[in-house]
Amino acid sequence: MDWKDALPEIVTQPGSRLQFREPLAKHTHFGIGGEATAYIEVSTVSELAALARFHKQWDIPVAVIGRGSNLLVSDRGFKGISIRLVSELAKLEVDGNIVSVGAGLALPALSKTMSQRGLSGVEFALGIPGSVGGALIMNAGAWGSSFGDVVTNVTVMTDTGELVNLTHAEAKFEYRHSSLDTYFCVTGATLTLEPGDVDTITARMQTLFKQKVETQPFVEENAGCMFKNPPGDSAGRLIDISGLKGYRIGGAEVSTIHGNFILNIDNATAEDVLKLVAHIQQQVREKTGISLQTEVKRLGFD
């Protein structure tokens, strides 16, 4: 029996959805990428556990995708199952200042709801179009705050379908990095937020959002910052002084607003983006001696 024939027996929960040959461009902010062999929106923990065991039993690659806002998918697509967490896996529960949040929830929704509840700590996240899972994996952040700062515990699933509760220390949050990508899937987290005044928190959230919209491109498709900031410097500044703003390869262009953003301005391919990335790295190294490391994750290039 082929694994593709066996898969529909696993995806049975109401609210879940299985699609073969799904274009992943539809699920990334870059709007780039070929098809996944199978794409599943998973709505329950038990179904996710069944998928973990399926992946192990059939030895099929699985990639969990959040909102695809930090992801470049190959033009050849992904030969495996891509999973997105919805419903039970995107739930939010608030008990005083302790918040339990599913990995599938969108960060801007979390940020808005917390401000309405008078809870401070995730105001910076309104302008980050990712999911909680992606923010945990990446330790997403802005304006001096990082998601890991408010995380007390993280729940992950192993490839035998078991849930494991990790402490903040075990998640090993660093600048745009954590240790969580060694597990099958991140399913959620517990956050400890600071009680405060609704109006003050909302005003701070809106100010940070406004600053972001004014200094970063928000119209064209992109994947956020392409490169990590080197210690004590900014990748955007280095790209700018290397004269690369507006530089274009195929349909991919370095933003003229913020040099660390690569835009898909005209049906860019993943190959266009990677050629542009290599050109930027080479030019910045030549002009400044600094090697830029990419922040955006890649899928389907193996």
Ligand X SMILES: Cc1cc2nc3c(=O)[nH]c(=O)nc-3n(C[C@H](O)[C@H](O)[C@H](O)COP(=O)(O)OP(=O)(O)OC[C@H]3O[C@@H](n4cnc5c(N)ncnc54)[C@H](O)[C@@H]3O)c2cc1C
* Chain positions contacting ligand X, by CB under 6 A: 29, 63-71, 85, 103, 128-131, 133-135, 137-138, 140-142, 185-186, 222-224, 297
Cβ contacts of 45 within 8 Å, gap of 6 or more: 88, 89, 157, 163, 187
Q: Say how many residues make up the chain.
A: 302
Look up tokens 């507006």; give the residue. 246
Q: How far apart are CB 232 and ligand X at their closest, in Å?
A: 18
**Residues paired with residue 62 on neighbouring β-strands, in sequence order:** 81
Q: How far apart are CB 65 and ligand X at their closest, in Å?
A: 4
Q: How far apart are CB 175 and ligand X at their closest, in Å?
A: 10
Residue 159 in 3-state DSSP? coil
Please, which residue, 152 or 211, has the CB nearer to ligand X?
211
Paired tokens of 288:
């400044």
Nearest to 115 by CA among 202, 49, 10, 29: 202
Q: Can you tell me the distance from the alpha carbon of 137 to that of 147, in angstroms, rounded to the nearest whole number?
A: 10
Please, which residue, 141 or 272, has the CB nearer to ligand X?
141
Please, which residue, 236 or 269, has the CB nearer to ligand X?
236
Q: How far apart are CB 299 and ligand X at their closest, in Å?
A: 7
Q: How far apart are CB 55 and ligand X at their closest, in Å?
A: 13
Q: How far apart are CB 212 and ligand X at their closest, in Å?
A: 7
Please, which residue, 2 or 182, has the CB nearer to ligand X?
182
Q: Can you tell me the distance from the alpha carbon of 45 to that of 49, in angstroms, rounded to the nearest whole number?
A: 6
Q: Can you tell me the distance from the alpha carbon of 261 to that of 60, in angstroms, rounded to the nearest whole number?
A: 33
CB neighbourhood size of 233 (10 A)? 12
Q: How far apart are CB 62 and ligand X at their closest, in Å?
A: 9
**Residues paired with residue 157 on neighbouring β-strands, in sequence order:** 163, 185
Please, which residue, 142 or 280, has the CB nearer to ligand X?
142
Nearest to 280 by CA among 302, 251, 255: 255
On whether the CB atoms of residues 47 and 3 are closer than 8 A, the answer is: no
Please, which residue, 183 or 247, has the CB nearer to ligand X?
183
Please, which residue, 171 or 223, has the CB nearer to ligand X?
223
